[in-house]
Amino acid sequence: MRFSLSLNVGETPRDIASKGTMAEKLGFDMIWVGDLPTEPYAPAMASFLAEKTKSIKIGLGLISPLLYRPTHIASMIVTLVESYGPRFELCIGPGDRNRLNQAGIRIPKEIVESIMSASRTIREKLKRYDTQVKLWLGAQGPQMIEASTTFNGVLLNLPSPRMVQWASKIVQEKKPNEEFRIGVFTVSYVYDKAKQDIYNRALQAATMVALGASNKFLEAFGYNNMIKEYQHRIKDAGKSPPQTLLPEDILKEFSVIKDRREFKSYLYALERLGVKDLVLAYPQNHSLSTIKSLGKAINRYKES
């Protein structure tokens, strides 16, 4: 299994650099640089990170073809690979509905077709410029998971083993090629001794993931009615939902909030399900110390 740390692109270049170099030093396989219409421009940050690190792989994404033209997305990768060598991977997907709305973009009904069309254009351009990268699809709903099998891999925003198993079944029915990778992207807090404020941030981030989950996915897990009820409460409460809105056991299905021992068992479970990539995100990237904790946990797992 490859382990990646997702960095928060909204931080200063100096912080990004120090966290990226720390991840490289700790032996992470990859760093992912996320992209949102309201945050710094990820390809430029990826370029900055590549400049400051030696050889660690860098994932760009999730990049939305609704925000950028597909040829532009391909250009981002062409420039990065031409500048720093074959160190990059790309993940595309619809993107965050609310943030896209802020930038004047609506997710169309035929989003799957739109993403598939974009992926074809991206591939064509990458081929024209002789640029090879792994192309991932960020997915959560069943249609998008099905569509992902024409990609090099799927990054599931579904961390719990039973969710991964559900997604994996959809993938296997489509019989992807042998090289197809199943990856998990998740809110993460892996700790030796939990710090309450970071723990709370993780729960809050998990709340956002749960509330933003696709309807079909929620239906499949019987969460539909409960989440809808909480969505209504949030509407009434305003923009920032309090972290206690959803029960903690449910939030933990939408995140990896674990001590080292629990994390190790979790990794065994993912391995059994054939997961090849695990991307650990906010608030694990909060500080050098939280990154170190994760690095140690991963190294212990690798040693075992």
Partner 1 sequence: LDDVKLNLGLTSSASVDKAIWIAQKAERIGLEGVIVGEDLGRRQDVFTLTAVMLMSASRIKVGIGITSPLYHNLTTIGRSSATLNSIAPGRLILGVGVGGLQDLAKEGIRVERPEEALRNAVSILKSIWSDRTITHSSRHYKLKDYSYRREKGSIPIIFGVRGPKLLKLAGEVSDGALISGSRSYLLNAVAALTESLHIHKRSRKSFRIIAWTPTIVTVGGKGLETAKKIVATVIADTPEKVLSQLRLDLESVREVKHLVSIGMKDKALDLIDNSMMDEFCIYGEADEIVEKLRGFRSIGVDEVVFGPPYGSPYRYAIELLAKEWRAQ
| Binding stretches for partner 1 (CB under 8 A) | 10, 12-13, 37-41, 43-48, 51, 67-69, 71-72, 75-76, 78-80, 82-83, 101-105, 129
Nearer to partner 1, 129 or 268 (CB): 129
- Joined together, the tokens standing for residue 19 give 């966290």
Q: Which strand (E) or helix (H) includes residue 17?
A: helix 13-26
CA atoms within 13 A on the CB side of 199: 10
The minimum distance between CB 11 and partner 1, in angstroms, equals 9
The minimum distance between CB 63 and partner 1, in angstroms, equals 11
Nearer to partner 1, 76 or 144 (CB): 76
- Joined together, the tokens standing for residue 227 give 């989440």
Report the C-alpha gap between 182 and 179 in whole angstroms: 10
**Contact call for residues 124 and 75 (beta carbons, < 8 A):** no
Nearer to partner 1, 103 or 237 (CB): 103
What is the CA angle 97-100-105, rounded to 5?
110
The minimum distance between CB 48 and partner 1, in angstroms, equals 5
Amino acid at 164: V
Nearer to partner 1, 53 or 75 (CB): 75
The crossing angle, in degrees rounded to 10, of helices 70-84 and 42-52 is: 10
The minimum distance between CB 187 and partner 1, in angstroms, equals 21
The minimum distance between CB 149 and partner 1, in angstroms, equals 28
Nearer to partner 1, 34 or 43 (CB): 43
The minimum distance between CB 95 and partner 1, in angstroms, equals 12
Nearer to partner 1, 12 or 304 (CB): 12
DSSP 66: T
Report the C-alpha gap between 74 and 56 in whole angstroms: 21
- Joined together, the tokens standing for residue 281 give 């995100």
